Amino acid sequence: MTVFDKEPFAPTLLSQTDVEQMWRALMQPLGWRARALWFVLVAADDRPLPRICEIAELPDEIDPDGHAAAAELWRELLDDLLPEGRVALLLVRPGGGGPNGIDREIADGLYTACRGAGVPLEPIHLATDDDIWALPADEVLGRAMRPGALS
């Protein structure tokens, strides 16, 4: 018989910092082979379900239909499993540095599609090979493609 003396990881997500700390705990060590999107469903009690899912091999450009399809998937999952829940998203990509224009453009599309589908979101986060950054809606929506943003 195996006895575990460690409590299961079950953070309470009350703030952007809590969400960032969850992603830091779940996604170590950092380092990515391709762009992808990870998500967890968060219950009304502010605790994520104990399952993390990946949408692998994201392209650098996602059209509005692609964002809408993802938002509809999350809407259906929430309707079926957690009607009062929400979704936490982590965009990952290889390489270093902070958020670039492509990252912001993807986050903008996700926020827009989820808002349209009625999917409540935690602040989206980005993980690169170096670190994890928040991409809050108020810093992303409508500002994704600034001059020099694709760098």
Q: What is the pLDDT along the chain (151 residues), one digit of tens a residue?
A: 555 566 777 899 999 999 999 999 999 999 999 999 999 999 999 999 999 999 999 999 999 999 999 999 999 999 999 999 999 999 999 999 999 999 999 999 999 999 999 999 999 999 999 999 999 999 998 765 544 443 3
My answer on whether omega of the bond before 11 falls inside 30° of 0, hence cis, is no
Q: Is 135 part of a structural domain of the chain?
A: yes
Domain range for residue 102?
33-140
- Centroid of chain to Cα 92: 9
The domain that contains 72 carries what CATH number? 3.40.140.10
Q: Is 28 part of a structural domain of the chain?
A: no
Q: Is 136 part of a structural domain of the chain?
A: yes
Q: Is 84 part of a structural domain of the chain?
A: yes
Q: Is 22 part of a structural domain of the chain?
A: no
How many domains in the chain?
Answer: 1
Q: Is 116 part of a structural domain of the chain?
A: yes
What's the order of all strands across the beta sheet hosting 86-92? 53-55, 36-42, 86-92, 124-127, 132-135
Q: How far is CA 145 from CA 8, 57, 149, in A?
A: 41, 22, 6
Q: Is 55 part of a structural domain of the chain?
A: yes
